[in-house]
Chains A and B, each alone.
Chain A
Amino acid sequence: MGAVILNGDLKGHTRLAGIQGILEDELKEAGWNTETFVLNEYNIKSCTGCFKCWDTTPGICTGVKNDDANKIVETVIQNELLVFLTPLTFGGYSSELKAIIERMLGLLQPGQLIVDGESHHLKRYERYPSVLAFAVTDKLDKEEEVLFKKLLERHSRNFYPPMHKTEVFQTKENEETIRDRVNKCIQKIKVGNRRG
């Protein structure tokens, strides 16, 4: 089974390199093939909101040209696990990670359906990857931690992962504890389909 790691470190920073390494080791140990994208090393332009990935070339972004996003998006849908790594940014994603998330719009189908009483988009594919979202922060802030969890919960309603799990790590946390926490998350991964 395959896992894609999207490292959303900001340009000039390597705050997520440590956890990325641990994650790659532990996933490998658990039998996963991993592919990592350190996003700031790629040319990823932000979505322009043109909806061409919905109404002109359904499933493929053709509104933004000459960048690396489509290749990454294709890899995401072809794997069973998607891992977000991000510096915790006011309880949300970093701009580097957010830019590629926006470019995944075409993985969904336009139009609406109601899930649990709420409007959501249709699934384009039968199966979506499970999501692990790991945020790293210098100083733990309960409010930000709660926001991050909630963001993933909301985001997952629009992305149909069979399961999602969030963890917030501190930069100063020791390697053993991080490894232990990462492992616990890996053990909880489920793959498969989710209705939608």
Chain B
Amino acid sequence: MTKAVLLMGSPRGRKSTSNAVCIYLQEIFEKNGLESQDPIFIRNHVATEEKMNDMLVAIDQADIIVLVAPLYDDTSPAIVTRTMEAMAKNSSKYANKRFLPIINSGFPEPFHITEIAIPIYHKFATSLGLHWTGSLALGGGEAMRGSIGKLLNESGGFGKKVMKALDRVVESFVTNSDFGDEALEIFSLKIYYNRVMRKFMLWINNRSWKKTAKKNGGQVDARPYST
């Protein structure tokens, strides 16, 4: 039986868009006859060498490695980078395993993910001899509200779009074919690129940060450090 490991790379943990993606993936792995266990929360495995080794063992035993993580500063979160560094130390063990990263961002445009983060993951995979089976960029993943614990089937149209793409990811695993590199706009950029709509959306977004900060006793544009 083909074994898949889900590496959940969000520092947020359970309440994250990445975890919502992992939960759905695990469900459809099982339905499609792929063997998998609960997602491995990377943030719980980077603190000690022993925990890191446990994760490396799980990776070692898998045929398919799926990394699900947010975009942080145009690239991988530090905890994911640490895992990549640790995997590189054992590089002889990864030949021919299939690797696919699924990355979600705050900004709606998927190119924030595909411009440099995906190429860095690709370089990582090829350096270790992993088989790059493709990637999925989810532009605007924050909109799915994983941060408040929403699952994909609770995220309306956004969640549906993502579930469809994940179904295709799993189909590619089952049929032993490459998924390829795909980028998904969670929020349609057609609407976002309409000048009036965009102006309105930015206004709403900026106002909502201001209001939340105020409610929490802060001022959104504070400059606490003198420069």
Interface residues of A (CB under 8 A from B): 10, 46-50, 54-60, 73-74, 77-78, 89-95, 98-99, 101-102, 109-114, 118-120, 122, 124-127, 143-144, 147, 150-151, 154-155, 158
A109 to B220, CA, bound (A): 7
Verify A110–B10 contact, CB threshold 8 A.
Answer: no
* Residues of B178-227 contacting chain A, CB below 8 A: 198, 202, 205-206, 209-210, 212-213, 216-227
Q: How far is the CB of B181 from chain A (nearest CB, A)?
A: 16
B115 within 8 A of A: yes
Q: How far is the CB of A66 from chain B (nearest CB, A)?
A: 15
Known contacts A147-B123, A150-B116; decide if A111 and B76 are in contact (CB<8 Å).
no
Verify B220–A92 contact, CB threshold 8 A.
Answer: no
Stretch at the interface among B54-62, B81-89, B166-174: B81-89
Q: CB-CB < 8 A to B108: which residues of A?
A: 119
Q: How far is the CB of B49 from chain A (nearest CB, A)?
A: 11
**Who on chain A is nearest to B82 by CB?**
A95
Interface residues of B (CB under 8 A from A): 10-12, 16, 43, 46, 70, 72-79, 81-82, 84-85, 107-109, 111-112, 115-116, 119-121, 123-124, 127, 147, 198, 202, 205-206, 209-210, 212-213, 216-227
A101 to B76, CA, bound (A): 11
Known contacts A58-B221, A111-B209; decide if A46 and B78 are in contact (CB<8 Å).
yes
Verify A89–B213 contact, CB threshold 8 A.
Answer: no
Interchain CB contact (< 8 A) of A92 among B70, B75, B109, B216? B75
26 A-B pairs within 8 Å (CB atoms) are namely A10-B85, A46-B46, A48-B11, A49-B10, A54-B209, A55-B212, A56-B216, A56-B218, A58-B219, A58-B220, A58-B222, A58-B224, A89-B84, A92-B81, A95-B78, A95-B79, A110-B220, A111-B205, A111-B210, A111-B220, A114-B202, A118-B109, A118-B111, A122-B206, A150-B115, A151-B74
A93 to B117, CA, bound (A): 11
**Who on chain A is nearest to B199 by CB?**
A114
Verify B107–A154 contact, CB threshold 8 A.
Answer: no
Q: CB-CB < 8 A to B10: which residues of A?
A: 49
Verify B213–A58 contact, CB threshold 8 A.
Answer: yes
A110 to B84, CA, bound (A): 29
Q: CB-CB < 8 A to B84: which residues of A?
A: 89-90
Q: Which of A47, A50, A144 has the most CB of B within 10 A?
A: A47
Known contacts A111-B206, A119-B108; decide if A155 and B74 are in contact (CB<8 Å).
yes
Beyond A46-B11, A95-B82, 13 additional pairs, beta carbon < 8 A? A10-B85, A46-B78, A49-B12, A54-B213, A58-B220, A90-B124, A92-B116, A95-B85, A101-B73, A111-B202, A119-B107, A155-B74, A158-B73
Q: How far is the CB of A35 from chain B (nearest CB, A)?
A: 15
Q: Which of B112, B116, B217 has the most CB of A within 10 A?
A: B116
Known contacts A46-B78, A46-B79, A114-B198; decide if A147 and B224 are in contact (CB<8 Å).
no
**Who on chain B is nearest to A78 by CB?**
B227
Q: Which of B70, B82, B120 has the most CB of A within 10 A?
A: B120
**Who on chain A is nearest to B72 by CB?**
A102
Q: How far is the CB of B193 from chain A (nearest CB, A)?
A: 9
**Who on chain A is nearest to B198 by CB?**
A114
Q: CB-CB < 8 A to A155: which residues of B?
A: 73-75
Q: CB-CB < 8 A to B72: which residues of A?
A: 47, 49, 98, 102
Q: CB-CB < 8 A to B109: which residues of A?
A: 118-119
Verify B85–A112 contact, CB threshold 8 A.
Answer: no
**Who on chain A is nearest to B203 by CB?**
A111
Verify B119–A158 contact, CB threshold 8 A.
Answer: no
Q: Which of A46, A90, A118, A150 has the most CB of B within 10 A?
A: A90
Q: CB-CB < 8 A to A73: which residues of B?
A: 225
Q: How far is the CB of B217 from chain A (nearest CB, A)?
A: 8
Q: How far is the CB of B66 from chain A (nearest CB, A)?
A: 18
Q: How far is the CB of A48 from chain B (nearest CB, A)?
A: 5
